[in-house]
Amino acid sequence: MSKAADEKPDLRAKGLEDFSAELTHNGHRERLRERFETGGPSALPDYELLEMLLFRAIRRGDTKPLAKALLARFGSFAEVISAAPERLQEVKGVGPKVVSELKLIQAAAQRLTRASVINKPVLSSWNAILDYCRAAMAYDETESFRLLFLDKKNNLIADELQQRGTVDHTPVYTREVIKRALELSATALIMVHNHPSGDPTPSMADIDMTKKIIAAAEKLNILVHDHIIIARRGHVSFRNLQLI
């Protein structure tokens, strides 16, 4: 018997194995979808929810190993979808399609939480404000400074990212903060920035900067309600710490 003839049974067997594996993976995907539809998100642990998100980017095959690898690398579901694209692609199996899907989910989450606070009284929606800020900033790898501008009824009229900095510093210019508040006819504002280190404890530089902005704002009858620091391990409020 020729060598080619010897190879044919092996090829057929390989094809059957691939077909069987594909049926297994498809069955697993359908079972996950059924559990999600029946029990909602709480019926799935993080890795299975992440598996389902990967279905769109990886049309065939088993996404469980990649989901578990991403969680092992970044620590949590939120940290996976918030990770920088270049860091995501350091994980074997993550390509542009996977990054695109994860960033789409992150954008949707931020848009959803933002919708819950815009044009609404901030002081009666404080938990929603914190949820939005955490979704937008908690897992960033560089510091950024955000301003929430309020009208005379304390409705949120604008949410603007003012500056991006380095891993442990972002420049904040008092003049620019006050100028933008006047342009928007804001009567109050809330400052928000993140600490990529994970520790939300304010630094002396944070405290000094806050005092300068409060002093400048008071001269123009603009009230600074709070300065919030967001981090992976929680948040702090300057008002709660009696720093304002």
The enclosing domain of 224 has a CATH number of: 3.40.140.10
242 found inside a domain? no
Q: Give this prediction's pTM.
A: 0.66
**pLDDT (tens digit, 9 = 90+) per residue, 55-114?**
888 887 788 899 999 999 998 888 898 888 999 999 999 999 999 999 998 888 888 877
76 found inside a domain? yes
209 found inside a domain? yes
Q: Are residues 39 and 65 in the same domain?
A: yes
Domain boundary among 93, 111, 129: 111
Domain boundary among 84, 111, 138: 111
- State the amino acid at position 191 in one-letter form: M
Q: What distance in Å separates the CA atoms of residue 106 and residue 53, rounded to the nearest whole number?
A: 11
Taking the CA atoms of the chain, what radius of gyration do you get in angstroms? 24
Listed as ranges, residues in the chain with pLDDT below 50 are 1-8, 11, 13-14, 16-21, 23
Q: Are residues 73 and 170 in the same domain?
A: no
159 found inside a domain? yes
Q: Are residues 39 and 96 in the same domain?
A: yes
Q: Are residues 126 and 95 in the same domain?
A: no
244 found inside a domain? no
9 found inside a domain? yes
Q: What is the CATH number of the domain that holds 67?
A: 1.10.150.20
7 found inside a domain? yes
Q: What distance in Å separates the CA atoms of residue 23 and residue 133, rounded to the nearest whole number?
A: 43
What pLDDT does residue 81 have? Answer: 86
Q: Are residues 129 and 103 in the same domain?
A: no
What pLDDT does residue 84 have? Answer: 86
Domain boundary among 79, 111, 143: 111
What pLDDT does residue 5 have? Answer: 47
Q: Are residues 22 and 95 in the same domain?
A: yes
Q: Are residues 103 and 126 in the same domain?
A: no
Q: Are residues 32 and 105 in the same domain?
A: yes
Q: Are residues 91 and 125 in the same domain?
A: no
Element holding 160 (H helix, E strand): strand 156-164
What pLDDT does residue 244 have? Answer: 85
Domain that holds residue 75: 3-111
Q: What distance in Å separates the CA atoms of residue 113 and residue 127, rounded to the nearest whole number?
A: 11
Q: Are residues 93 and 138 in the same domain?
A: no
Q: What distance in Å separates the CA atoms of residue 164 and residue 148, rounded to the nearest whole number?
A: 16
What pLDDT does residue 99 have? Answer: 92
Q: Are residues 172 and 81 in the same domain?
A: no
Q: What distance in Å separates the CA atoms of residue 136 and residue 147, rounded to the nearest whole number?
A: 13
243 found inside a domain? no
What pLDDT does residue 40 have? Answer: 79
**Cα distances (angstroms) measured from residue 6 to each of 2, 10, 13, 16, 17:** 6, 8, 12, 17, 18
Number of residues written out for the chain:
244
Element holding 243 (H helix, E strand): none
**How many domains in the chain?**
2
Q: Are residues 133 and 99 in the same domain?
A: no
